[in-house]
Amino acid sequence: MSPMELESDPSTQPTSETASEPPPLVLNPDPSGTQQHPHLQSEIQMSEAGLADNGVEHRHRAKPAWMNRWRLFLFILGLLFLCAAVLGLIYYRHQRNNQRNSQATPCLSPACLRASARLVASGDPSTQPCSYFSSRCGSGRLSPDRGGGQGARGLPGHPQVQSEKAALPERTGTGHEGGGGGLTERKLLHRKTVLLQYLREILESKDRLNGSAAEKAKAFYNSCLDTASVETAGVEPFLALIQKVGGWAVSGQWKQADFNSTLILLMRDYNTFPFFKLYMGTDPRDTANGTLKRYIQIDQPNLLIPIEWNSRTNKSQVKAQTLRPFLALCQRYLSFLGATAGSSMIHAGTFMSLSSELAVSAAPPRYRRARGQLSQRVSIRELQSRAPAVDWLRCLQAVFHPLRVAADDLVLVHNLPYIAHMSPIIGKWLNKHELSSSGPLQTYMVLNLLHTLIPALDARFYDTARNLSVALGNADKAAPRWKYCVLETGRGLDPVLTHLLGERVAHREAGELILYIFYSLTAKLRERQWTHQRTLQSVMEKIESLVPRLWIPKELHSEAELDLLFAKVVFEQINPLLDALPGSHVSCGLLCFQVSLNGSFFSNYVQLLSLWQSRRSKPLMEQTEKTDILSVSPFVLDNKLLIPMGMFPPPFFHPTYPRAMNYGGIGFLIAKDILHLLLPRIYSQSESVRAEGECVWANFLNLTEKDSRAGASQWKAQQEAWVQYSALQIALQAYHQSLKQHPADTSISGLSYTRLFFSSFSQISCDSDPEFMPLEPSFLITAVCSKFNMCPSSLQCLSKAQQRLLQNC
């Protein structure tokens, strides 16, 4: 018998399952007590009529005691019949509600079919549910870096847990992609990774996207994936680019161009800032006053040579242990670019020497903040007098074109001592140094340009850089190529990706879910006991003044606007024949070479850098906030509580999903994030909130036999315990409220609404959110089901004593 059939069969379905749906309308008895069962009423009337026929002579006599007892008996019997009828009606309505739940229309959309497959792969909670919900994520599926070994103990004492423990397969995989013998795919997906994966699916779709701008984004992404063309092209594209920026002594064709002209070209067209960084932003002093005026910002550069801060001398210095591997890195780069052994030693040495001199005046932000060296307002005219080696007005006019920049305009400088120190160093190496004829400043700028373009060059450059990172102990796991390509596509084409995402997010369904979650949250907070009534009023006024809504960026352009905005951008596209090639590009001979020439990622990447840099001045002119398409957490702006679109990709949310699945997944995450935003105001001002957090955390430690943690970590754990425990209640209550307004819902895999809600919550918590989660999903489910009569009895897997402990929270 299927799970759906079990729930619709009254002989097998527990009556408490009915509490998982909104309570049906109950026909209450007449409050006056006069309404009675019709048969009982007629019997009473007949008895009274018979008594009247016995004669007038009995009229003044006292009624026998047995007659009074008989009338009392009939009255009580009538009340019993009436109560039985009402209870029967309630039971019938509940059963019919149950049957409607169990016979919900199955969701057969493509998104639901994929979700169903994921649920099956995760384990079916409807089979032996106590074992499923009381073990770590159902079957100990977590990879070792989530701590699944310690968390898979389950709730002790339950016989089903003990009997099933031995049957669970042992998972000992490495948890990395492509690893054999274990997990072949990383299960723990960060929210941003889920969003990037969704954007990847859009860009890799075989269907033609609407609009030329969308097709250009797709063309760039596909050229980025074509690593075979990058390897085929080798270093030749970069050598050709060097000639466009004035040549280089290493290649023997150095034109000895003007220093400032080369510097402007690198910053304006190639997003390369060798000596200082340029960007725009607000002044923190203005932001505090609500002003959004933007300034050109000038900061120290990201120096390529590894340095460390000496807190004793308050100066940066080059790490002695990194000198040899960094010198080897520079020499290998130069050899790849065609330099001889002797030439590479000279140019690598001058690059390291110049870098070391610049590093002396570089300082970390905390030191500059303490010295008042951050956000110093300086006019461009004054900056020119402080650092005359750079033509500041010309540089800023070129980089931020078409913005009008004048000598008296104010800019924000974030390390004026560095800028003043940099200028004489440039002058020394430009005019008076004994190696000036070999172009040391040009070498320094060319190697910085090389660093910018390494992602578009063959694997030798990337592998060399990674070897240095390993030698320094900083090597991180390399991101998959697809993820890097999505991020790079978003650097210059983020309005296009924002448009594509906005097209696919169901604004009405997402907005409705946000409202239900927010109103359920405010209702729960009103139930709390606050330290002072004035505090309650202040906090609730602040919360209720917020307007929750889906964040749709102001610069969400239409398709026509995007096509016009990117009309001059032409990315070289991959030859369509490439899609027909089976497998890799290895043995396709001449065809692959032709395809590589037709789709050069290097030329596309260079154009992307220019495009990205040209858009830097746009927020400065329009006075608008830059859209962050990768935003995946709620935030407050003025009186608006904004939930970004990036939180709503599958598998978190889909408009065709059953609402139970959406509320159990993204509904929980939204509730949790909002509580985190409000936590400082709530947790410190509500006695009942603190007591509930302590109680839930203590029960978790007791039921899972974990060791208590002391100090600040335990305080934070108690706060997070309250947040997650409350967020799950809020999401469940919000779903029930939505069911009252829209009783119909669909189902997946034959699961009832409540089971589907908890399955979605458990899956999202186990697979998709590697944030701080001290409470295991299984514990949260059993805790909520123990305290609130909203779950099937089969999910209430604790003993009576354990239930009483949780009910006290």
Amino acid letter for position 773: M
Q: Is the pLDDT of residue 517 over 90?
A: yes
Average pLDDT, the chain: 75
- Domains (ranges, CATH) in the chain? 3-44+68-102 (no CATH), 273-435 (1.10.1380.10), 507-551+632-809 (3.40.390.10)
pLDDT at residue number 257: 74
pLDDT at residue number 567: 87
pLDDT at residue number 687: 79
pLDDT at residue number 772: 54
pLDDT at residue number 3: 36
Give the model's confidence band at 782: pLDDT under 50 very low, under 70 low, under 90 confident, else very high.
confident
Give the model's confidence band at 452: pLDDT under 50 very low, under 70 low, under 90 confident, else very high.
very high
Q: Is the pLDDT of residue 103 over 90?
A: no
Q: Report the pLDDT averaged over residues 348-365.
A: 92
Give the model's confidence band at 680: pLDDT under 50 very low, under 70 low, under 90 confident, else very high.
confident
DSSP state letter for 106: B
Which of 22-26, 92-96, 660-664 reaches the highest mean pLDDT? 660-664
Q: Is the pLDDT of residue 489 over 80?
A: yes
| Spatial distance between the Cα atoms of 539 and 678, rounded to a whole number of angstroms | 9
| Residues whose CB falls within 8 Å of the CB of residue 68, separated by 6 or more in sequence, listed in order | none
Q: Is the pLDDT of residue 438 over 90?
A: no
Task: Give the range among 10-14, 301-305, 639-643 with minimum mean pLDDT.
Answer: 10-14
High-pLDDT (> 70) share of the chain, %: 68
pLDDT at residue number 597: 34
DSSP helix/strand/coil, 791: coil
DSSP state letter for 642: E
pLDDT at residue number 216: 93
Q: Report the pLDDT averaged over residues 501-521.
A: 93
Structure tokens of 791? 């779950």
Q: Is the pLDDT of residue 685 over 60?
A: yes
Residue holding tokens 């709390």?
A: 528
Which of 12-16, 574-578, 611-615, 747-751 reaches the highest mean pLDDT? 747-751
Q: Report the pLDDT averaged over residues 793-801.
A: 60
| Spatial distance between the Cα atoms of 773 and 610, rounded to a whole number of angstroms | 42
pLDDT at residue number 86: 62
Give the model's confidence band at 716: pLDDT under 50 very low, under 70 low, under 90 confident, else very high.
confident
Give the model's confidence band at 598: pLDDT under 50 very low, under 70 low, under 90 confident, else very high.
very low
Give the model's confidence band at 774: pLDDT under 50 very low, under 70 low, under 90 confident, else very high.
low
Structure tokens of 82? 């009436």
Give the model's confidence band at 805: pLDDT under 50 very low, under 70 low, under 90 confident, else very high.
low
Task: Give the range among 35-49, 103-117, 417-431, 638-652 with minimum mean pLDDT.
Answer: 35-49
Amino acid letter for position 689: V
pLDDT at residue number 311: 86
The set of long-range contacts for 627-631, using a CB threshold of 8 Å and a minimum separation of 24, is: 627/494, 627/495, 627/498, 627/553, 627/554, 627/555, 629/490, 629/494, 629/497, 629/498, 629/501, 630/192, 630/195, 630/196, 630/490, 631/551
Give the model's confidence band at 518: pLDDT under 50 very low, under 70 low, under 90 confident, else very high.
very high
Task: Give the range among 50-59, 416-425, 509-518, 586-595 with minimum mean pLDDT.
Answer: 586-595
The more confidently predicted of residues 228 and 778 is: 228
* 3-state DSSP helix/strand/coil % of the chain, to nearest 5: 60, 5, 35
Question: What are the angstrom distances between the C-alpha of 626 and each of 495, 622, 670?
Answer: 10, 10, 23
Q: Report the pLDDT averaged over residues 402-425.
A: 94
Partners of residue 309 on adjacent β-strands: 316
pLDDT at residue number 77: 74
Partners of residue 278 on adjacent β-strands: 298
pLDDT at residue number 627: 59
pLDDT at residue number 173: 32
pLDDT in tens, 143-197: 333 333 333 333 333 333 333 333 323 323 333 333 333 333 344 457 888 999 9
Q: Report the pLDDT averaged over residues 563-571.
A: 86
| Spatial distance between the Cα atoms of 290 and 54, rounded to a whole number of angstroms | 94
Q: Is the pLDDT of residue 288 over 70?
A: no
Q: Is the pLDDT of residue 591 over 90?
A: no
Q: Is the pLDDT of residue 353 over 70?
A: yes
The more confidently predicted of residues 300 and 596 is: 300
Which ranges constitute the DSSP H helices of 505-633?
507-526, 533-544, 559-565, 577-580, 590-598, 601-614, 618-622
| Spatial distance between the Cα atoms of 803 and 785, rounded to a whole number of angstroms | 9
